[in-house]
Amino acid sequence: MSDRNLIPYLLTFGPIFLVGAFMMWPASEAIGLRGMQSLVDEMDSLMPLLIAAMLGTMMVLGGVYLMISEMMENTSGMNKQLLNVASVLIVVTMASFVFGLGSNVAVINEADGEIDAVDDSFAYENETDRSNTLSNTFDAGNTVWTMSPVTWGLSLVLIGLVAFMMKRPESAMDYVMPALMPVGTLFLSLPIINNPGLFNMVFPVVLLVHIIIGGLMLSGKVTVPGSTEEGA
């Protein structure tokens, strides 16, 4: 059991939790006051989704980080430097997701916060004060979240590029890891394109790519570039 590689399991099951929570999240297509209010309206039923979203995020990004670390063990020079950058980008992505989810949790927790115009201890002055605070918290989370496709996508591009340079494709399966380059390029371009509908289509596809890679690793058809299994 101690010798089992976690990477395929994290890449396979993490995205399933994350995409499930994303599809059911009430504020996935709402912004501003409407987005904040959608969380407030569903706050009693959101805890399971929050747990699934956080668990899925940690699993899939943790899987990518571990994959980068394993690739770095058997490379050097420019390839290793590119992977170092990719690992930093994944950590930044994880921090962005934690901050974004945290802002949603803060909105839910404070939605029924006490209002007291006299006592200023842990109480809002009035309903407007509470509403403005919740809206600002929600918007702050969305602001940080906005750039996560760029950091995540760029890390995928770097992983795919290094995988290509470490081993030039000779068979169909050898193209799986380099295929992260176009996938990552599309993902990182989403904030520039600024089309929410396109994001709702592309994000599940990006997660599906992670699932496919994890599944192929589980079946033994794809290995981490530079790993001992590949060299055997």
Domain residue limits, the chain: 7-227
Residue 19 · residue 218 · CB < 8 Å: no
Side chain identity, residue 40 = V
- The model carries a pTM of 0.83
CA–CA separation, 129 and 117 (whole Å): 10
Model pLDDT for residues 132-152, shown as the tens digit of each residue: 777 788 788 878 888 899 999
DSSP 232: -
Of 230, 208, 216, nearest to 60 by C-alpha is 208
Residue 87 · residue 146 · CB < 8 Å: no
Across all residues in the chain, what is the average pLDDT? Answer: 83
Side chain identity, residue 43 = M
Query: 194: helix, coil or strand?
Result: coil
CA–CA separation, 218 and 5 (whole Å): 9
CA 92 to chain centre: 10
**In a structure prediction context, what are the per-residue pLDDT tens digits for the chain, which is 232 residues long?**
456 788 999 999 999 998 888 887 765 565 666 667 777 777 777 778 888 888 999 999 999 999 999 998 888 889 899 999 999 999 999 999 888 888 888 877 777 667 765 666 667 667 777 777 777 887 888 788 888 999 999 999 999 999 998 888 788 888 889 999 999 999 999 988 888 788 888 999 999 999 999 999 998 888 887 765 554 4
Residue 191 · residue 99 · CB < 8 Å: no
CA–CA separation, 163 and 230 (whole Å): 12
User: Phi, psi at residue 75, to the nearest 5°?
Assistant: -145, 170
